[in-house]
Structure 1
Amino acid sequence: MYYKILFYLTLMIGTLISISSYSWMGMWIGLEINLLSMIPLISKINNMMASEAALKYFITQTLASSILLLSIIMMSMNNMYNMNSILYFTMIFNTALFTKMGAAPFHFWFPEVMEGLNWTNSLIMLTWQKLAPMVLLLYSTKFFTYLILIIIISMMVSGIMGLNQVSLRKILAYSSINHIGWMLSSMMFMETIWFYYYIIYVIITINIVLIFNMLNIFYLNQLYISMNNNFHIKFFFILNFLSLGGLPPFLGFMPKWLTIQLLTESNMYMLATIMVIMTLMTLYFYMRITFSTILLSKTYTYYYNHNMINNHLIMLINFISIMGLVISTFLFNLI
């Protein structure tokens, strides 16, 4: 247990070193500390799926780090010779960061790694591990055309691939890819909106993962069975899932609202329209899951005992999602 605390600490230190570094080399070192801290947290001796996930994560992140370091070296070598070539190496640099955060079409590793994790590591992968690559994207030169292409592909992949999933971890992984697209679009024009989006996404994801972890469920059939006898758990799960999809009047709608307004004010009408249409696909499988949770009755043996779950704790941590309309309207007026 104590070694986990050490690795959690170095995981946070690596990210903080990366986002606060004054040089690209220091940024790369921070990412490597973060990577080498995450591997022991994922891998387990008695769990083959966790060991496989750790290996996949290590290979992918090492490949991205190698491309990152190569682009940094080439940018520094070409600094005094050809300024135009730096732009191309910056695009390679951004590609490595997209791979590290799991944005489509560089997402191939993300759902597979998520499938082998427990809920604690899944929460870290969905939230904290996205922070450093996104902040570093803010520091680098932005190719709007390339960013828009990544945004549209992320929206399409998350919407289509999430439709036929039965694993809750993979559903949250494709949901994260969808939210990455929204965060990248807000990042293009205003960092403040991106920060609001990231914080709200983290809050909603913590609420959902906490419920799944308390019930110890990983698949949809377990979800329907486990929530059948517990109205409070079912109610708050549905509210948070709809909030994650960005359905008004919940809190998750607020950052999407701000992002759409930001895009329209920047005359990016086509991009905003495509993003809204593609997000409707993800909202469809959110609604399908929530409706099934409401309507399906218990037809299997009840394997879980929820007497130890504190419903008051669930009510407390989900209060902010229920009050999404009031909070989002208040914050929007402040902006």
Structure 2
Amino acid sequence: MSPYVFLIISISLFLGTSLTLFSNHWLMAWMGLEINTLAIIPMMTYPNHPRSTEAAIKYFLTQATASMLVMFAIIHNAWMTNQWTLLQMSNPTASILMTLALAMKLGLAPFHFWVPEVTQGISLSSGMILLTWQKIAPTALLYQISPTLNMKVLITLAFLSTMLGGWGGLNQTHLRKILAYSSIAHMGWMAIIMMINPPLALLNLLIYIIATLTLFLMLNFASVTKIKSLTNLWNKSAPMTTAILLTLLSLGGLPPLTGFMPKWLILQELVANNNIIMATLMALSALLNLFFYMRIIYASTLTMFPTTNNSKIQWPYPQTKTINIIPTLTIISSLLLPLTPLFITLMH
């Protein structure tokens, strides 16, 4: 891809998300979502391949349907309340429609079918943007209309997402699909707390984005897309394998890693709001995710590649991919748990 084209696309992506984040009018927020969707499609189709083209078409159709629903909810709300401002989504029908539309944009179950298919069809770098940056704008809208959301709808979406995100990833061998199902499950954790404690949902999203970004950068650096390929990574780079292991455990939510913090705080908040059954079910669904993360860890660290070559032969050519940011991101995605009191103070 030409550097100029890449620059224009990157600026458009940033502009679209910023427009949605900083707008106070529904029409401007909708325009931001549209710019965001249209900007990522050329990124998805590079390098040009039938699989990436198919993925981009699937993504476009799903996002276009969601945008149409968003617009329908905006117009219905304006018709009933005569308000176009973001904080005035007071009509119940419009609020439910908006929730469903944003769930479709985020990939919450039962609108999750596009996420694994699209992520599998595109490159690792495009998949990274899709599962991190593209979640920011819809989450910002969900955050702003959180006081008017329907609790039953949210709980249903969240529970289905965590369960299906866990079950779906169990029999996958492609790492991109596994990360897509992981994304669905994490979005479920974010949705369940959105109405009770919106800042906690944002904290969950932030930690998820950092951990997923770290994992994608490491997989891209090692050029690994399948679990089978990971078995040979220990020979190439032991520190990279250890970092992948730590990040996966953090995504799974094991203490004392960073990923444990949002899950712990969300369960605590659910219990405090007498939602004990839901908290128990969410905790159990997290075990499904942990299982398929552990399977990757087992394949990459506890098994040897089936050849007689066990020597530490270094690749003779200079490495062109940058790894400057990976150590920093690995530390952030693994060691932030002691800062939990600071985050709680900032949220309140």
Distance 1:229 1:304 in 2: 7
Q: Which runs of 5+ in 1 are unaligned?
A: none
SS at match of 2:231: helix
Give yes or no for contact 1:201–1:244 (8 Å, CA) kept in 2.
yes
Per-residue CA deviations over 1:128-183 (Å, capped at 9, x if unaligned) read 11111111112222100000000110011111110000110010000011110111
Distance 1:134 1:311 in 2: 29
SS at match of 2:81: coil
Give yes or no for contact 1:68–1:93 (8 Å, CA) kept in 2.
yes
Distance 1:249 1:136 in 2: 32
Give yes or no for contact 2:227–2:300 (8 Å, CA) kept in 1.
no
Letter in 2 for 1:23: H
* Cα deviation, residue 325, structure 1: 4.0
Is 1:119 aligned to residue 131 of structure 2?
Answer: no
Give yes or no for contact 1:227–1:234 (8 Å, CA) kept in 2.
yes
Distance 1:301 1:110 in 2: 39
Is 1:327 aligned to residue 339 of structure 2?
Answer: yes
TM-score, structure 1 normalization: 0.92
Is 1:217 aligned to residue 200 of structure 2?
Answer: no
* Cα deviation, residue 308, structure 1: 4.5
SS at match of 2:248: helix
How do 1:197-212 and structure 2 match up within 5 A? 197-212=204-219
Q: Which residue of 2 aligns with 1:75?
A: 77
Q: Which residue of 2 aligns with 1:241?
A: 248
* Structure 2 residue corresponding to 1:33, chosen from 17, 32, 35: 35
Give yes or no for contact 2:210–2:329 (8 Å, CA) kept in 1.
no
Q: Which residue of 2 aligns with 1:279?
A: 286
* Cα deviation, residue 307, structure 1: 6.7
Q: Which residue of 1 aligns with 2:306?
A: 299
Distance 2:254 2:128 in 1: 22
Deviates more, 1:221-230 or 1:267-276: 221-230
Is 1:11 aligned to residue 13 of structure 2?
Answer: yes
Give the direction of change, closer, same or farther, for the CA distance of 1:162–1:306 in structure 2 (3 Å limit). farther
Give the direction of change, closer, same or farther, for the CA distance of 1:333–1:31 in structure 2 (3 Å limit). closer
* Cα deviation, residue 185, structure 1: 1.9
Q: CA RMSD, aligned part only?
A: 2.5
Letter in 2 for 1:78: M
Per-residue CA deviations over 1:199-241 (Å, capped at 9, x if unaligned) read 2112111211111010111111111123334221111110110
Distance 2:90 2:255 in 1: 45
Q: Which residue of 2 aligns with 1:171?
A: 178
TM-score, structure 2 normalization: 0.88
* Structure 1 residue corresponding to 2:191, chosen from 158, 178, 184: 184
Letter in 1 for 2:289: T
* Cα deviation, residue 301, structure 1: 8.7
Give the direction of change, closer, same or farther, for the CA distance of 1:317–1:156 in structure 2 (3 Å limit). closer
Letter in 1 for 2:127: S
Is 1:87 aligned to residue 104 of structure 2?
Answer: no
Letter in 2 for 1:92: L
Deviates more, 1:97-106 or 1:197-206: 197-206
Distance 1:162 1:305 in 2: 32
Give yes or no for contact 1:236–1:314 (8 Å, CA) kept in 2.
no
Per-residue CA deviations over 1:42-88 (Å, capped at 9, x if unaligned) read 113631211111111111111111111122212222337xxx99312
SS at match of 2:91: helix
Q: Which residue of 2 aligns with 1:152?
A: 159
Distance 2:60 2:197 in 1: 33
Give yes or no for contact 1:167–1:218 (8 Å, CA) kept in 2.
yes
Give yes or no for contact 2:162–2:184 (8 Å, CA) kept in 1.
yes
Letter in 2 for 1:115: Q
